[in-house]
Amino acid sequence: MEGEPTRVMIGVNESTIKGYPHASISSKGAFEWTLHKIVRSNTSGFKLLFLHVQVPDEDGPHLLEYFVNRCHEIGVQCEAWIKKGDPKEVICHEVKRVRPDLLVMGSRGLGPFQRVFVGTVSEFCAKHAECPVITIKRSADEAPQDPVDD
């Protein structure tokens, strides 16, 4: 039942918390969930594809380094790349181009009231991406002071 590894695309972004130039809480959550619940000890069975859609002033290469380093430590194959544009559209476009087996997205897990004003990339992708999608909600105890931050 082996053969080609399962290719899991993970959409990652930077934290919105001021002065915290790291991966967002929900991106890290989606990544760690994928390692612990899906990849587990079968490191050769998976390849992780990190896509970062850069918004102005963001430090994309530094962000991706974090995920790539973690993969190297664990021994999971990976690729990472940066695109510019509207995150939800770019992610769906990249799914079409790259054809992963699965797309994993982190989400802040906002309630319906907050979602109206914020809009969620993960919701759009779950609906429109042409591959199976898992959305990993941020756990309540990881939410920052302002839950709209991430």
User: Where does this chain bind a second copy (CB under 8 A)?
Assistant: 1-2, 6, 33, 35-42, 45, 74, 101-102, 126, 132-137
Complex with a second copy: residue 76 or 90, whichever CB lies closer:
76
Complex with a second copy: residue 39 or 80, whichever CB lies closer:
39
Q: How far is the CB of 15 from a second copy (least distance, A)?
A: 22
Q: How far is the CB of 14 from a second copy (least distance, A)?
A: 23
Q: How far is the CB of 37 from a second copy (least distance, A)?
A: 5
Angle at 29 between CA 68 and CA 60, to 5 degrees: 40
Strand order in the sheet with 6-12: 77-84, 46-54, 6-12, 102-107, 133-137
| Cα–Cα dist 33/14, whole Å | 18
| Cα–Cα dist 67/30, whole Å | 11
